Structure 1
Amino acid sequence: MKHGELKSLDLAALWQGLRRPDPMGTDRVVPPTGITAQLTVFAAAAMAFLAVFALALALATGRLAERWSNELAQTVTVRISAPTEQMDQQTATVMEVLRTTPGIADAKQLPDSEVEKLLEPWFGPDVPVEVLPIPRLIEVSEAGEGFDAEALRLRLQGEAPGAVLDDHTRWREPLVRAAGRLRVLGLVSLLLIAATSGAMITLAAKAALAANGQVIRVLRLIGARDITIATAFVRRFTRRAAAGAAIGTVLGMIAIWALPSVDEAGGFLTGLGFQGWGWLWPVLIPLAAGLIGFVATRSAALRMLREVR
């Protein structure tokens, strides 16, 4: 058989493959290996790995903001600073005021051991609380309906001048606001990762199209439509993006799982990771990567095929 006849038979077989509904037939116009395949898989894996951490950051900061808001909103502290000879009397007065205030469920004076723990981050262990001019702290727990903080402040000011009510508003609001901004940062990072993935897949698809320019021209001569040719690239690159993202997601989840579960800081338990059903969220990353690969490759292929005639 002559070389020209063999080439004609190969093209005919390729054209028959393009006409079949079987995706493997259309994929034969795309090289199964090469720099574009490696670039697509690597880019998808790297972006998915980063996406896992961005998603974990968004979820963790959401939990952190909720925890800070709930814990600080339900506790109030009364600080008593008075001369030594008046300390016991003002403490008793404050306890009586709190006991008779509607909306307060419980009030207890913090023992020296707990005050020592609060001061330990700044002064180290074994703080001599008994010899330091440290104010007494009374922890107040609100009832379900809460209480009138301004009215309580005025009452304490009149009956116990050394007592100061601290409802943690100046601490709670900045902390919750900061956690909310970190959550937004995590979501923005996910969007940037998705955009970067789309750009990398688009470049890889264009490189593959340019490398197969001769094949595309021959396919057009034998009657292949642009949408049929583009479908071959779309299917191949969609699978590459999804496969690479699956690899990166698994590695990212392993890295998250290997992190310390909790980090005790400032009296709050915080940790970057997933909890409960939250471990199912990363499963969406390969699906999203496949969708991004489909859209990016289809758009790039059709645009480039229209430009190259």
Structure 2
Amino acid sequence: MNLKALWLGLVRSDGGAGDRIVPPTGFTAQLTVFSAGAMAFLAVFALALALATGRLAERWSSELAESVTVRVSAPVAEQEARTQAAMQILQTTPGIGQPRLLPDEEVAHLLTPWFGPDMPVDALPVPALIDVPVTDSAFDAEGLRLRLEAEAPGSILDDHTQWRQPLVSAAKRLSALGIVSLLLIAAASAAMITLAAKAALAANGQVIRVLRLIGARDITIATAFVRRFTQRAAVGASVGTVCGMIAVALLPGMSAAGGFLTGLAFQGWGWLLPLLIPVIAAAVGFFATRWAALKMLGAVR
């Protein structure tokens, strides 16, 4: 009983006794369709999570690496002079673009989440913030940091490394978790289909013995079960995938969600990836039922 014969039997139905021994309804059929649909629905969300967090890691890695910030802290009487000194240093530093001193309004907006909108920021000793775009790989962050310490005391360079690396690492781990979830979903689907196929084979043990007595081959019997359960897995997974894609499409976008996770949704060609889930579910059903049928038919003698 080889894989080629099973596959030929799967795609070429003869409508014979083999098909009729597989119950078209009942708890095994319902269990297979429901489990395939539920797992496909969850697989859509796991796939969306993996893609969204992958985009998030790329976004944080690129955006935070494209700029640095210089913070200038000094007594009120010296604040303006030290800020101008830091600006002059930045303007002569290779590898960066035009530095921009953030106005008081932007600084107040940045502090709003911590102090609230009514906090008089002007009365606080808030340091001056300079946004510095990085335009070239020749930029030497450590050299600039040392130069600022020497020529503009109180100026601190922040290249966002302390924030960027943990965020990117967390996003990549979430993406890996999504992939692991997909593998676990496939394994759980295979286990459920295997149990359902074994239950159907066990329930029809007497019928299988009679078929053997009248000349039916194991390949014919096994092919009937493989075909029926593969079809059930494909149908259930198709319904679950469609429902999952609709649910993902109804989720709020990035702007409505406040930019959380770049939006847990598919983008562009990513909408085509969930269409592979029913195909994979059918393949899982095929191999899981084949293994169960070979094992059970060897025992039913």
> TM (normalized to structure 2)?
0.93
SS of alignment partner, residue 101 of structure 1: coil
AA aligned to 1:147 is: F
> How far off is 1:122 after superposition?
1.5
Q: Rate the CA distance shift 1:277–1:113 in 2: closer, same or farther, 3 A.
A: same
Instruction: Name the counterpart of 2:61.
Output: 69
- Mapped pair 1:253 → 2:245: yes
Q: Which residue is 2:13 aligned to? A: 22
The 3-state SS of whatever aligns with 2:226 is helix
Q: Which residue does 1:164 correspond to in 2?
A: 156
Q: CA deviation at 1:263?
A: 5.2
Following superposition, the deviation at residue 218 of structure 1 comes to 0.9
Whole-Å Cα distance in 1 between the matches of residues 110 and 138 of structure 2? 26
2:105 aligned residue (109, 113, 117): 113
Residue-by-residue CA offset, 1:1-56 (whole Å, 9 max, x unaligned): xxxxxxxxxxxxxxxxx9x9535434222111110000000000000000000000
Q: Distance in 1 between matches of 2:109 and 2:256?
A: 13
Change (3 A) 1:266 1:31: closer
The ranges of structure 1 where at least 4 consecutive aligned residues each deviate by more than 3 angstroms after the TM superposition are: 23-26, 263-269
Structure 2 unpaired stretches of 5+: 1-8
For 2:5, the equivalent position in structure 1 comes to none
Q: Distance in 1 between matches of 2:206 and 2:225?
A: 15
- CA change 1:23–1:139 in 2 (3 A) is farther
Aligned match of 1:185: 177
Tell me, yes or no, if structure 1 residue 285 matches structure 2 residue 293. no
Q: Name the % identity.
A: 70
How many Å separate the matches in 2 of 1:116 and 1:265? 23
Aligned to 1:45: 37
Larger radius of gyration: 1
- Seen in structure 2, the aligned counterparts of structure 1 residues 149 and 121 have a Cα distance that, compared at 3 Å, is same
Note if 1:173 corresponds to 2:162: no
Most deviating of 122-131 and 209-218: 122-131
Give me the whole-angstrom Cα distance separating, in 2, the residues matched to 1:73 and 1:39: 50
Q: How does 1:285-304 map to 2 (within 5 A)?
A: 285-304=277-296
In structure 2, give the amino acid aligned to 1:36: T
Counterpart of 1:36 (choices 28, 36, 40) is 28
Q: Distance in 2 between matches of 1:57 and 1:73?
A: 24
- CA contact under 8 A between 1:55 and 1:187: conserved in structure 2? yes
Q: Deviations over 1:112-168 (max 9, x none)?
A: 221122112222224422111111100000113341111101110011111000000
Rounded to whole Å, the distance in 1 between the matches of 2:265 and 2:226 is 34
Contact 1:227–1:302 (8 Å) recurs in 2:
no
Q: Deviation at 1:258?
A: 0.7
SS at match of 1:104: coil
| Residues 254 and 260, structure 2, Cα contact 8 Å, conserved in 1 | no
- Distance in 1, matches of 2:129 and 2:258, equals 18
Q: Over the residues paired in the alignment, what is the CA RMSD in angstroms?
A: 1.7
Tell me how far 1:92 sits from its aligned partner: 0.4
TM-score w.r.t. structure 1 length? 0.91
- How many residue pairs match? The answer is 291
Write the distance in 2 (CA, Å) between the matches of 1:124 and 1:43.
49
> What corresponds to 1:204 in structure 2?
196
Give the 3-state SS of the residue equivalent to 2:266 in structure 1. Answer: coil
Q: Secondary structure at the match of 1:240?
A: helix
